[in-house]
């Protein structure tokens, strides 16, 4: 890929809903080509942070991707700047085939002349993505009939053909089997060669294996940041997680289930 | 000046009628997201209840008073039946609910025709409610309008209190704000839905009783009202009653003044244009519950 | 490639259209006789007639009663031996309160059932919708409802009142009672708007003032503002051309505003006995109506009609002007056919002039020139029992004048 | 027919369907051409031979309703926009055509008969004048509805008014339009509408041969609209439209503006309704507010729902079937028809949301790669759309 890698730079980001502040002055830098994991107890503001970056909720502060300011732009404009995301629940178009899903994702810059014509064959970037996500043999299957893990890969594939340079993934491996998790992790590593990846995840085993850096959020603020080992050693992180028995199972220090 | 005040009162009383017919919708549409096109036929059921009661209880005043609770129960029961038979299956498909309940409204209208005949039926109003109060300055205020205003006010207060204070009301609000959370917190959401529907439909029955004082009682009386009522709820915003109340009165006064200055036809078109313009400004209506959920 | 395919399909369809159109053009001039009307099928020992009324939809309320009285007349005629020795076989259709449906059903009755005549329609809109159908097929329609005039189709007989038999006499009555100012309230459609034009012309010529004119959309039930306007105008009387449901709401509002039949009487031209029942005498008692017939109209013919109707449809069913006009229309058609000695439409039309019938409303005479009928105008007052009693009549049948040509003040109207 | 692969769950098993694009499209194309040929033969040869003039003119009327249904199928079935105000566009097209024909009937310089009777106007109102020219009136029958749809659509879709809100607004538009038309009796004919239309571009409409010509034009137009819609549905745009229906937000995140995508389908549907209205006028000879209001607008939807909203042919067949059933049943059982209409709506929409087409789909499942979204609508996505 010839395109340059960019980083994500968040400064003093704040989001509030009717007096409740969900994200309270977060600043963080994600280096180009990083795989950054965002963790934190429920309600820490992880998803809201991603919502703010992608323009879904109004926020104050500054979010730059490379040298472009994202805040204040409408959702589809931010998307066209190369910022792509997935949701906790899979949102592939179930009534369309895998190929059609990818083709739509690849086509945001198409003009009406192209749109109003039928698709012939498979565009190169779509074929490439089909190989990367391992769904080439299922290209003509309805997305709704895919297994759960396959849907998540399709979503990632859609971000690839969309030519997203920043991938924001919200719990991509939730509900996946061990084999699927491994495959997903390898997919992320492959993808991050020419892209920047941010992952919200609760699965600590997955995090330890594939995270390059980690940011811990708590009550809308950054609690800790660093490599997996650094964060695990941070006493504040341990305190927060021990103070929330519900989340104890997901705490970095806890043993795996 | 006299005319101006008279018109203002007319506008307010149009608003009261709108409020009364929209209140039930504010609950079923606003709180539950169910578009019930048969709501107008529940109003009709309330009006026919008054008619039937008057065949038994001939004193107009008593029959009207008794009709209020009876119509509430009759229309409410119809609503619950509809909820159990059809709407329950359609919570995830609001647009389909609209079409299905429209089919139901056709059936109910024909049923009314077959039972009561196509022509309108008449009820007698108590003499007290056919008169008016003369205020100084030549202004007269019709008693039936005052009664409806009081009824609408009473219904709003009762509903607000019920939603705020009673355990059922708290459950209803919990379900509206977060259905899943309410469910895992041990609230039987299906039963709460049914109760909400009972109350919402029952309010339509009460509106039906009130309308016997103003207009015709016939099989198609509901269809003329339903769109206006929906517009009130849409503009008022979902999930809160105060929007419905404010918008009902605002549209009433707008229509009355528009009609006074031009004609009723033009006034109706004016109201429509105003609504589209308003939704440009606030697409979610006047008041909405803000939630964190995905838009 | 695919787009090209799409284009080819489209192009193919277009070619077909063009070819079809050309084929049609080719035969355009050859066929003249096909449009020359359909002859009625009278080969058997029965003769079919069509009944075209709304049995469903908003107009069913009124039109079902008309259908009932037409059926009554047909039964009576059949029991007395039929028409020219043939029994009448009614073919009923539902206009469904929808004007294009009326046109469709009229076409069906004429072309498929080949009826000798059609009885029905109520609203002006439905009549306007079927008029070209009858004219194109040269078939007969008997239209039984009072209407706004300004029409004279060679294939329609109008057995209800035209404006000079209902509205003008109603105004004459008000003038005689000393009314100097009027307020006009009507539904927003053809009849009220045309009627109000006539009323305004009449008022101007007779020194009366029209203080206001308001229209409510059909089916509207919100009369607060209009009543306010009426009340503050201080008019001597209200001329009401509201239709259907709106009357109920209007009179309830009227009474609530403290207006009464003595303080400001309302003359209505669309409220007959059936409507009185649904509005309620509580609101209507003492108000005036203008018609040509009431259930209480004296005479043996009416006693027989009312008794027969109640025996067939129930003692609680009132008879009204449009019902009577519909009933009469069947008898008038019978008389025309018998005078012509044939069911042929043109012969029936030619035979129509001067036909008389001792109707429940009194003697009526067909005016061949206008194909309307001469009838007596009556003004009545709603009583506590829900019946309307006559307070005035025109003394003699009034010759129909649908274009008001004999009224100098109406010069600019048509 | 085999029913082995009926259950969608089995399709998720590791053996992928082997259908490769190579075999599929050509067979589909062949089927489409064969289908159109069959339809054309039916409409142009069989129907005129078998039906009497009267029944043929009824069929012409049904086909006009079917044109509206195609548009609704596109906007609602594929785009998720429940257009409950299509009567407005049907009416705009119909009035534009009728105004021209009335003026042509009256002759140059004259005014239509009803204006003289009811309007008492001294001269033709300004806004009528352009309709005297067929070069204005004919394009207007399609462009006028499209323009209104464009204005309304760009207002509401951009502000993300959708789902139920959109449905209610489009109903209110229908109601407002009726009131407006009726209120201007002198220039619109009021409740009567525009009636008694005699000629159609020089051809006397009383002549059955010319009625037949009108039928052929209508049938041809219907086929053309079907071809156009088929193309739209199978284009990339068609796929995108389904995507917007099922996940508007998701499409936005892919960098599209869903408002524009929806607007196109809505405007096209409006144009089809306008064309249908324009052709309805010579076929039936009348256009009136009774064809425009809330009830007729909902009735346009009924056939679409019953036939199968997301399919190409479902809406057409559904609309024709419902219109035919109404004529057949309301002749004998007017009350029963109302019950039946209501029941059909309830049963089909509640229990068979794919319409009758989904029954056919169940039988035919498993042959081919391009499966239209008949089989099941995803529940989540519709909830999202509200």
Which pair of structure tokens corresponds to residue A163? 């030519």
Residue C149 falls in which region: left (phi positive, over 0), alpha (psi -120 to 50) or beta: left
Contact B109 D305 (CB under 8 A): no
Strand C237-241: give its sheet, edge to edge: C209-216, C181-187, C237-241, C266-268, C288-291, C378-382, C388-393
Q: pLDDT per residue over C243-279, tens digit each? A: 877 898 999 999 998 899 999 999 999 899 988 988 8
Tokens 């004279």 identify what position?
C152
Domain residue ranges of chain C, discontinuous segments joined by +: 163-296+377-410
What is d(CA D319, CA B238) in angstroms, rounded to the nearest whole number?
35
Q: Give every CB contact of residue C34 below 8 A, 6+ residues apart in sequence.
A: D207, D208, D209
For residue D25, the model assigns a pLDDT of 57
Contact B124 C228 (CB under 8 A): no
Whether the CB of A118 is below 8 Å from some CB of chain C: the reply is: yes
For residue A231, the model assigns a pLDDT of 87
What is d(CA D289, CA B189) in angstroms, rounded to the nearest whole number?
44
What is d(CA A221, CA A219) in angstroms, rounded to the nearest whole number?
6
CATH number assigned to the domain with residue range B2-119+140-281, chosen from the 4 options 1.10.3470, 2.10.260, 1.10.10, 2.120.10: 1.10.3470
Q: Give the Cβ contact number of residue C398 at 10 Å.
A: 19
Contact A115 D237 (CB under 8 A): yes
Shortest CA distance from A87: residue in chain B:
B294
Q: Are C271 and C289 in contact (CB under 8 A)?
A: yes
- pLDDT band (50, 70, 90) for residue D334: low
**For chain D, percent of residues with pLDDT exceeding 70:** 85
- pLDDT band (50, 70, 90) for residue B125: confident
What is d(CA B49, CA B23) in angstroms, rounded to the nearest whole number?
19
Domain residue ranges of chain A, discontinuous segments joined by +: 8-250
Contact B283 D82 (CB under 8 A): no
Give residue D16's Cα distance to chain centre: 38
- In residues, how long is chain B? 295
Q: Report helix, strand or coil for C300.
A: helix
What is d(CA D147, CA D169) in angstroms, rounded to the nearest whole number?
17
Domain residue ranges of chain D, discontinuous segments joined by +: 47-292
> What is the count of residue pairs from A and C with beta carbons less than 8 Å apart?
6
Q: Give every CB contact of residue D332 below 8 A, 6+ residues apart in sequence.
A: none
Domain residue ranges of chain B, discontinuous segments joined by +: 2-119+140-281
> What is the count of residue pairs from A and D with beta carbons less than 8 Å apart?
109
For residue D6, the model assigns a pLDDT of 33
For residue D361, the model assigns a pLDDT of 62
Q: pLDDT per residue over D124-159, tens digit each? A: 888 999 999 999 999 999 999 999 999 999 888 887
- In residues, how long is chain D? 386
The mean pLDDT of chain B is 86
C-alpha atoms less than 13 angstroms from C-alpha of C35 in its C-beta half-sphere: 19
Tokens 């009885």 identify what position?
C119
Beta bridge partners of C266: C238
In the predicted model, is pLDDT for residue D321 greater than 80?
A: yes
Contact B292 A56 (CB under 8 A): no
Which pair of structure tokens corresponds to residue C132? 């070209």
Q: Are C239 and C210 in contact (CB under 8 A)?
A: no
> What is the count of residue pairs from B and D with beta carbons less than 8 Å apart?
130
Comparing C139 with B281, which gets the higher pLDDT?
C139
Shortest CA distance from D11: residue in chain A:
A145
Mean per-residue pLDDT for D38-52? Answer: 90
For residue D376, the model assigns a pLDDT of 35
Which pair of structure tokens corresponds to residue D34? 């064969």
Contact B290 A17 (CB under 8 A): yes
The CA radius of gyration of chain B, in Å to the nearest whole number, is: 19
- pLDDT band (50, 70, 90) for residue D331: low
What is d(CA A94, CA C132) in angstroms, rounded to the nearest whole number?
54
Contact D377 A95 (CB under 8 A): yes
For residue B83, the model assigns a pLDDT of 93
Q: pLDDT per residue over C352-409, tens digit each? A: 999 999 999 999 999 999 999 999 999 999 999 999 999 999 999 999 999 999 999 9
Comparing D337 with B239, which gets the higher pLDDT?
D337
In the predicted model, is pLDDT for residue C6 greater than 60?
A: no
Shortest Cα–Cα distance, B212 to chain D (Å): 24
Closest by Cα among C19, A120, C23 to D223: C19
For residue D144, the model assigns a pLDDT of 97
For residue D119, the model assigns a pLDDT of 65
For residue D356, the model assigns a pLDDT of 83
In the predicted model, is pLDDT for residue D327 greater than 90?
A: no
Which pair of structure tokens corresponds to residue C254? 């009227």
Identity of the highest mean pLDDT range in A109-118, B254-263, D82-91? D82-91
Shortest CA distance from C188: residue in chain B:
B265
- pLDDT band (50, 70, 90) for residue B288: low
For residue C183, the model assigns a pLDDT of 96
Closest by Cα among B67, B38, B69, B39 to B55: B67
| Chain D residues close to B29, C-beta within 8 Å | 164
What is d(CA A59, CA B48) in angstroms, rounded to the nearest whole number?
54
Shortest CA distance from D344: residue in chain B:
B103
Contact A48 B292 (CB under 8 A): yes
Shortest Cα–Cα distance, B176 to chain D (Å): 14
Shortest CA distance from B289: residue in chain A:
A18
For residue D189, the model assigns a pLDDT of 86
Whether the CB of D149 is below 8 Å from some CB of chain A: the reply is: no
For residue A121, the model assigns a pLDDT of 82
End-to-end, the C-alpha distance of chain A in Å comes to: 40
Which pair of structure tokens corresponds to residue D122? 């001294």
Helical (H) or strand (E) element with C200? helix C190-205
- A contact chains, 3+ CB pairs < 8 A: B, C, D
Whether the CB of A117 is below 8 Å from some CB of chain C: the reply is: yes
Torsion angle of C-alpha atoms C328, C331, C332, C338, degrees rounded to 10: 180
For residue C414, the model assigns a pLDDT of 58
| Chain B residues close to D249, C-beta within 8 Å | 294-295
Comparing A113 with C323, which gets the higher pLDDT?
C323
Mean per-residue pLDDT for D343-361? Answer: 84
Q: pLDDT per residue over A166-182, tens digit each? A: 999 988 888 888 888 99
- B contact chains, 3+ CB pairs < 8 A: A, C, D
Give per-residue burial for A100-136: e unless 16+ CB within 10 Å, then b.
bbbbbbbbbebeeeebbbbbeebbebbbbbbebbebb
Interface test with D, best of B32, B40, B110 (most D CBs within 10 A): B110
Q: What's C163-296+377-410's CATH class?
A: alpha beta
Contact B295 A56 (CB under 8 A): yes
Mean per-residue pLDDT for B59-74? Answer: 92
Mean per-residue pLDDT for C298-303? Answer: 95
Helical (H) or strand (E) element with C92? strand C87-94
Q: pLDDT per residue over D178-219, tens digit each? A: 988 888 888 888 888 898 888 888 888 888 888 899 999 999
Mean per-residue pLDDT for D230-247? Answer: 92
In the predicted model, is pLDDT for residue D360 greater than 90?
A: no
Whether the CB of D338 is below 8 Å from some CB of chain B: the reply is: yes
Q: Which residues in chain D belong to E strands, given as ranges?
A: 199-200, 203-204
Partner-chain residue, chosen from D176, D339, D382, that has the shortest CB–CB distance to B269: D176
Contact D185 C188 (CB under 8 A): yes
In the predicted model, is pLDDT for residue D68 greater than 90?
A: yes
Residue D63 burial (C-beta neighbours within 10 Å; 0-12, 13-18, 19+): buried
Shortest CA distance from C279: residue in chain B:
B122
Interface ipTM: 0.84
Mean per-residue pLDDT for D77-94? Answer: 94
Comparing B164 with D68, which gets the higher pLDDT?
D68
Do the bridges between strand C118-120 and strand C372-374 make them parallel or antiparallel, or are there none, so unpaired? unpaired
> What is the count of residue pairs from A and B with beta carbons less than 8 Å apart?
9
For the ranges B118-122, C85-89, C241-245, which has the lowest average pLDDT?
Answer: B118-122
In the predicted model, is pLDDT for residue C4 greater than 60?
A: no
Contact A145 D12 (CB under 8 A): yes
- pLDDT band (50, 70, 90) for residue D231: very high
Q: What is the pTM of this model?
A: 0.86
- A23 to A26, A49, C276, C393: CA distances (angstroms): 7, 7, 69, 85
| Chain A residues close to D358, C-beta within 8 Å | none
Mean per-residue pLDDT for C203-221? Answer: 90
With DSSP H G I counted as helix, E B as strand and the rest as coil, what are the percentages for chain C, rounded to 5?
45, 20, 35
Comparing D352 with D368, which gets the higher pLDDT?
D352
Partner-chain residue, chosen from D183, D219, D338, that has the shortest CB–CB distance to C188: D183
Shortest Cα–Cα distance, D330 to chain C (Å): 7
Give residue C37's Cα distance to chain centre: 25
For residue D122, the model assigns a pLDDT of 77
Interface test with A, best of B240, B294, B295 (most A CBs within 10 A): B294
Does the structural domain A8-250 have CATH classification 3.40.50.300? yes
Comparing D275 with A73, which gets the higher pLDDT?
D275
Mean per-residue pLDDT for D223-251? Answer: 92
For residue D209, the model assigns a pLDDT of 87
The mean pLDDT of chain C is 88
What angle do the packed helices B143-165 and B167-177 form, to 10 degrees? 80
| Chain A residues close to B294, C-beta within 8 Å | 56, 87
Interface test with A, best of B284, B290, B292 (most A CBs within 10 A): B292
Shortest Cα–Cα distance, D296 to chain B (Å): 13
Q: Are D305 and D349 in contact (CB under 8 A)?
A: yes
Shortest CA distance from A55: residue in chain D:
D253
What is d(CA C195, CA C204) in angstroms, rounded to the nearest whole number?
14
- C238 to B139, C182, C213, C244, C368: CA distances (angstroms): 21, 6, 10, 17, 35
Shortest Cα–Cα distance, D64 to chain B (Å): 22
- pLDDT band (50, 70, 90) for residue D30: confident
Residue C315 burial (C-beta neighbours within 10 Å; 0-12, 13-18, 19+): exposed
Contact A56 B290 (CB under 8 A): no
Tokens 């969900």 identify what position?
A22
- pLDDT band (50, 70, 90) for residue D86: very high
DSSP C388: E
Shortest CA distance from A93: residue in chain D:
D243
Using 70 as the pLDDT threshold, list the residues of chain A that sit under it.
Answer: 1-3, 242-257
| Chain A residues close to D228, C-beta within 8 Å | none
Shortest Cα–Cα distance, C13 to chain A (Å): 20
- pLDDT band (50, 70, 90) for residue B1: low
Interface test with A, best of D16, D18, D250, D311 (most A CBs within 10 A): D250
Residue C354 falls in which region: left (phi positive, over 0), alpha (psi -120 to 50) or beta: left
For residue A110, the model assigns a pLDDT of 82
In the predicted model, is pLDDT for residue B46 greater than 90?
A: yes
Q: Give every CB contact of residue B170 below 8 A, 6+ residues apart in sequence.
A: B163, B164
Mean per-residue pLDDT for D221-229? Answer: 95
Q: Are C360 and C324 in contact (CB under 8 A)?
A: yes
Whether the CB of C3 is below 8 Å from some CB of chain A: the reply is: yes
Listed by number, the residues of chain D in 239-278 with a beta carbon closer than 8 Å to a beta carbon of chain A are: 239-240, 242-243, 246-247, 249-257
For residue B16, the model assigns a pLDDT of 93
């Amino acid at each position: 890929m010839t395109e340059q890698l960019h980083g994500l730079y968040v400064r003093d980001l704040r989001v509030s809903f009717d007096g409740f502040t969900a994200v309270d002055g977060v600043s963080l830098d994600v280096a180009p080509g990083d795989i950054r994991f965002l963790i934190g107890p429920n309600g820490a503001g992880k998803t809201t942070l991603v919502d703010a970056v992608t323009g879904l909720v109004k926020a104050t502060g500054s979010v730059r991707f490379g040298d472009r300011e994202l805040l204040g732009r409408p959702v589809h404009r931010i998307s066209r700047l190369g910022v792509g995301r997935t949701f906790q629940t899979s949102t592939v178009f179930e009534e369309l085939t895998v190929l059609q899903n990818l083709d739509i994702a690849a086509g945001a810059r198409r003009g009406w002349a192209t749109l109003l014509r039928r698709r012939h064959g498979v565009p190169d970037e779509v074929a490439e993505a089909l190989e990367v996500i391992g769904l080439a043999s299922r290209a003509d299957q309805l997305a709704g009939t895919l297994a759960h893990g396959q849907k998540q890969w399709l979503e990632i594939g859609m971000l690839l053909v969309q030519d997203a340079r920043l991938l924001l993934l919200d719990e991509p491996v939730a509900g996946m089997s061990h084999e699927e998790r491994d495959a997903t992790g390898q997919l992320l590593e492959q993808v991050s060669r020419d892209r920047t990846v941010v992952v919200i995840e609760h699965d600590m085993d997955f995090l330890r294996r594939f995270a390059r850096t980690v940011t811990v959020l708590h009550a809308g603020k950054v609690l800790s940041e660093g490599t997996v080992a650094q964060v695990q050693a941070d006493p504040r992180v341990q305190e927060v997680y021990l103070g929330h028995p519900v989340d104890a199972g997901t705490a970095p220090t806890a043993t795996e289930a | 000046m006299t005319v101006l005040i008279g018109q203002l009162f007319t506008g307010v009383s149009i608003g009261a009628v709108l409020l009364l017919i929209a209140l039930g919708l504010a609950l079923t549409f606003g709180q539950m997201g169910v578009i019930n096109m048969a709501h107008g036929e529940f109003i009709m059921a309330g009006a026919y209840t008054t008619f039937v009661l008057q065949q038994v209880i001939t004193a107009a005043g008593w029959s009207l008073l008794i009709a209020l609770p009876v119509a509430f129960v009759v229309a409410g029961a119809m609503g619950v039946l509809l909820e159990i038979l059809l709407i329950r299956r359609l919570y995830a498909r609001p647009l389909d609910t609209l079409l299905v309940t429209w089919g139901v409204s056709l059936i109910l209208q024909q049923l009314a025709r077959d039972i009561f005949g196509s022509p309108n039926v008449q009820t007698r109003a108590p003499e007290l409610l056919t008169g008016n109060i003369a205020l100084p300055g030549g202004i007269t205020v019709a008693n039936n309008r005052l009664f409806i205003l009081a009824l609408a006010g009473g219904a709003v207060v009762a509903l607000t209190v019920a939603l705020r204070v009673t355990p059922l009301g708290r459950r209803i609000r919990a379900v509206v704000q977060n259905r899943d959370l309410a469910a895992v917190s041990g609230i039987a959401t299906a039963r709460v839905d049914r109760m909400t529907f009972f109350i919402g439909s029952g309010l339509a029955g009460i509106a039906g009783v009130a309308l016997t004082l103003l207009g015709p009682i016939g099989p198609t009386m509901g269809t003329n009202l339903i769109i206006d009522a929906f517009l009130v709820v849409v503009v008022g915003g979902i999930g809160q009653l105060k929007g419905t109340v404010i918008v009902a009165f605002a549209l009433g006064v707008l229509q009355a003044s528009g009609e006074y200055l031009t004609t009723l036809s033009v006034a109706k078109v004016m109201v429509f244009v105003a609504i589209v313009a308003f939704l440009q400004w606030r697409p979610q209506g006047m008041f909405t519950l803000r939630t964190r959920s995905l838009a | 490639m695919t787009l090209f395919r799409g284009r080819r399909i489209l192009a193919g369809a277009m070619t077909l259209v063009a070819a079809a159109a050309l084929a049609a053009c080719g035969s355009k001039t050859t066929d003249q006789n096909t449009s020359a009307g359909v002859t009625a099928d009278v080969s058997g020992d029965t003769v079919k007639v069509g009944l075209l009324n709304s049995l469903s939809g908003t107009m069913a309320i009124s039109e079902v009663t008309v259908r009932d009285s037409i059926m009554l007349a047909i039964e009576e005629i059949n029991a007395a031996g039929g028409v020219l020795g043939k029994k009448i076989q009614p073919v009923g259709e539902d206009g469904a309160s929808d004007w294009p449906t009326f046109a469709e059903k009229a076409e069906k009755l004429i072309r498929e059932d080949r009826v000798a005549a059609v009885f029905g329609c109520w609203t002006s809109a439905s009549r306007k919708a079927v008029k070209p159908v009858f004219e194109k097929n040269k078939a007969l329609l008997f239209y039984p409802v009072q209407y706004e005039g300004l029409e004279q189709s060679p294939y329609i007989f109008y057995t209800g009142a035209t404006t000079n038999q209902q509205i003008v006499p109603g105004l004459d009555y008000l003038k005689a009672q000393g009314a100097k100012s009027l307020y006009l309230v009507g539904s927003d459609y053809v009849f009220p708007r045309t009627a109000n034009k006539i009323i305004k012309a009449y008022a101007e010529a007779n020194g009366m003032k029209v203080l206001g004119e308001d229209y409510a959309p059909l089916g509207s039930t919100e009369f607060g503002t209009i009543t306010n306007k009426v009340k503050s105008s201080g008019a001597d009387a209200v001329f009401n051309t509201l239709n259907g449901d709106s009357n109920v709401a209007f009179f309830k509002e009227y009474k609530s505003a403290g207006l009464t039949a003595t303080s400001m009487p309302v003359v209505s031209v669309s409220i007959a006995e059936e409507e009185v029942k649904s509005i309620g005498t509580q609101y209507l008692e003492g108000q005036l109506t203008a018609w040509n017939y009431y259930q209480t109209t004296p005479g043996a013919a009416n006693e027989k009609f009312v008794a027969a109707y109640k025996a067939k449809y129930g003692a609680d069913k009132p008879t009204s002007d449009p019902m009577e006009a519909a009933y009469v229309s069947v008898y008038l058609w019978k008389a025309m056919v018998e005078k012509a000695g044939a069911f042929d439409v043109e012969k029936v039309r030619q035979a129509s002039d001067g036909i008389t019938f001792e109707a429940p409303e009194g003697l009526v005479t067909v005016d061949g020139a206008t194909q309307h009928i001469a009838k007596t105008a009556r003004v009545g007052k709603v009583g506590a029992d829900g019946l309307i009693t006559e307070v005035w009549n025109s003394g003699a049948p009034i010759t129909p004048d649908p274009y008001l040509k004999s009224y100098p003040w109406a010069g600019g109207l048509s | 027919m085999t029913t082995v692969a009926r259950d969608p769950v089995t399709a998720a098993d590791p053996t992928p369907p082997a259908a490769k694009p190579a075999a599929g499209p050509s067979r589909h194309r062949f089927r489409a051409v064969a289908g159109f040929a069959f339809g054309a033969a039916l409409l142009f040869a069989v129907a005129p031979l078998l039906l009497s003039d009267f029944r043929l003119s009824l069929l012409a009327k049904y086909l006009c309703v079917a044109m509206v249904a195609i548009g609704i199928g596109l906007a609602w079935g594929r785009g998720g926009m429940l257009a409950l105000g299509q009567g407005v566009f049907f009416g705009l097209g119909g009035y534009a055509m009728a105004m021209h024909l009335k003026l042509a009937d009256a002759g140059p310089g004259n005014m239509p008969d009803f204006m003289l009777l009811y309007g008492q106007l001294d001269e033709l109102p300004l806004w009528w004048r352009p309709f005297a020219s067929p070069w204005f009136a004919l394009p207007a029958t399609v462009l006028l509805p499209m323009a209104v749809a464009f204005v309304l659509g760009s207002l509401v879709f951009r502000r993300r008014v959708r789902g139920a809100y959109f449905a209610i607004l489009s109903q209110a538009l229908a109601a407002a339009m009726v009131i407006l038309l009726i209120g201007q009796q002198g220039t619109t004919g009021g409740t009567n509408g525009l009636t008694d239309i005699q000629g159609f571009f020089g051809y006397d409409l009383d002549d059955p041969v010319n009625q037949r010509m009108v039928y052929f034009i209508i049938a041809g137009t219907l086929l053309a609209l079907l071809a156009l819609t088929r193309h739209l549905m199978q284009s990339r745009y068609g796929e995108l439209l389904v995507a917007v229906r099922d996940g508007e937000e998701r499409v936005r995140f892919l960098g599209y503006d869903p408002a524009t995508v929806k607007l196109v389908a809505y405007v096209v549907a409006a144009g089809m309704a306008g064309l249908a209205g324009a052709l309805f006028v010579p076929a039936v000879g009348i256009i009136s507010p009774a064809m425009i209001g809330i009830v007729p607008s909902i009735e346009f939807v009924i056939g679409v729902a019953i036939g199968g909203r997301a399919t190409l042919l479902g809406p057409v067949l559904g609309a024709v079937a419902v219109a035919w059933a109404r004529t057949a049943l309301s002749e004998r059982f007017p009350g029963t028809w109302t019950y039946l209409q209501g029941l059909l709506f309830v049963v089909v929409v509640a229990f068979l949301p794919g319409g009758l087409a989904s029954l056919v789909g169940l039988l035919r499942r498993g042959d081919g790669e391009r499966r239209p979204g008949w089989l099941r609508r995803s529940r989540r996505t519709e909830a999202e759309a509200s």
